[in-house]
Structure 1
Amino acid sequence: MAEDAQLPPDRDHSPDAELSLRERKKRATRQRISDIATPLIVARGFDNVTVTEIARAADVSAMTVFNYFPRKEDLFLDRIPEAVEMFTEAVRQRGSGETPLAAVRRLVLELLDARHPLSGVDDDFPPFWNVVLDSPALRARAREGVEELETALAEALTETSAAGPGAPDPGLAAALIVAAYRSVYVTSAGRLLAGERADDIAEDHRVRVDAAFDALERAFAPGRKG
């Protein structure tokens, strides 16, 4: 079995380079397994595809699948870790003078421009969402993913934001940021599921992102009361 995806040899044999190569191979394997699992599940439904079938199609063992995806639901909702990484890195690596809200707003708009799956704006997404809506297990995992994103974002805000009188509570700020992102995402997803086209809703999606983050900026403005 091809337990790891093959990558071109790395000429740099330093410890850091070797670690990078291992990480790239792990990510490639993880992505390949998910890329194989997703169309199988879309075609037949989440409950009708087994991990054993996915492992066989990916030419790996079932144990290998579980090494990369602790639960079957994670095979389909495989972008939860990516969302956590992208949002927290946007906060941690923001530019000098850029607020956390500005950094997350920038990220969300970049996702829209790229028609990234985490933007919620692409004509190819409705079949994926229909599978999630049809599966109680996937809906529950999606809710957990929102909680994981909130927790990780709160940690990033705690690490990087100035504390003091009037500073927003990191947990509350994270919850509101994720809620704003989710609200815009869900609205656009609903319109696509209803038959609208991505190109027809993209500008409205952008307007709603800006409106949501403008509201958060006002709410978190220093010295605001009530």
Structure 2
Amino acid sequence: MSIPSDRRSRKRLATREGISDAATRLFIERGFDHVTVDDIAAAADVGRMTVFNHFSRKEDMFFDRDEEGRQMLREALLQRDPRVSLIDTYGLLAHRLIAEHSPVVEFSARSQSFIEAIEASETLKARARAIRDECAQVVALALSECAGREPGDPDAQLAAGLLLAVWTVAFIQAHRTFRQTRDTEQANAAFLALVDKGSSALKAAMAGTPYA
């Protein structure tokens, strides 16, 4: 996350991050459904209204970095090497994130507690699905923009939906691999293998379009 240059914005960002960190810690310790906004406010040492000034929903405190994810997906295309196809750009992104040890694709003991909190809450699972769908729309719009097509281009919608499905399956399987092996390298390999396989299938499906 970029750091604002002015003091007021930095202070606001620090407060937001403090609330999110406190909330996530409580969600993992007690379970999302057993934590109240008052609990979060007390843990973050802020007032209840301060919490709502930064987050409109409790689940947004848990998924507080989802906007960064959307920005990452947009920028991957907008800043890509023009010699690389649009679909291949996302395959390269997956490999780069793993190489850089990005928390977005972290498969470790620390990340397992985050995943377990989601699996234990229907509210968090529903929000995770909604974020996936929102990311698919971000990708579809970026794809059509880069290809010079209309925003509602059905090929872009199909490509984006398939891409997010591939990443979702790869992400879930990588976490399962870590649970079974407690080996981050094996989990990383499982993630990239499925992303690569899915990307090849996606390119075949998009043959004859500007996205492949």
1:43-62 alignment to 2 at 5 Å? 43-62=29-48
Distance, in Å, in 2 between the alignment partners of 1:103 and 1:24 is: 33
Judge conservation of contact 2:23–2:62 (CA < 8 Å) in 1: yes
SS at match of 1:139: helix
Q: Superposed, which structure 2 residues align to 1:28-177 within 5 Å?
A: 28-163=14-149, 169-177=155-163
Over alpha carbons, which structure has the higher Rg?
A: 1
SS at match of 2:99: helix
State the AA in 2 paired with 1:35: D
The aligned residue for residue 182 of structure 1 is 168
Please give the TM-score of this superposition, normalised by the length of structure 2. Answer: 0.85
Structure 1 residue 35: Cα displacement: 1.6
* Structure 1 alignment gaps of length 5 or more: 1-6, 11-16
Give, in angstroms, the shift of residue 181 of structure 1: 0.8
Contact 1:120 1:185 in 2 (8 A): no
Judge which range, 82-91 or 108-117, deviates more: 108-117
> Is residue 200 of structure 1 aligned with residue 186 of structure 2?
yes
Give distance in 1, aligned partners of 2:36 and 2:103.
24
Displacement after TM superposition at 1:193 (Å): 3.2
Change (3 A) 1:147 1:89: same
The aligned amino acid for 1:161 is: A
Measure how far apart 1:120 and its partner are: 4.5
* Aligned length, in residue pairs: 206
Report percent identity of matched pairs: 35
- Looking at structure 2, the residues matched to 78 and 120 of structure 1 have their Cα atoms a distance apart, in angstroms, of 16
Q: TM-score with structure 1 length normalisation? A: 0.80
Shift, 1:25, TM fit: 4.3
Which runs of no fewer than 5 residues in structure 2 stay unpaired? none
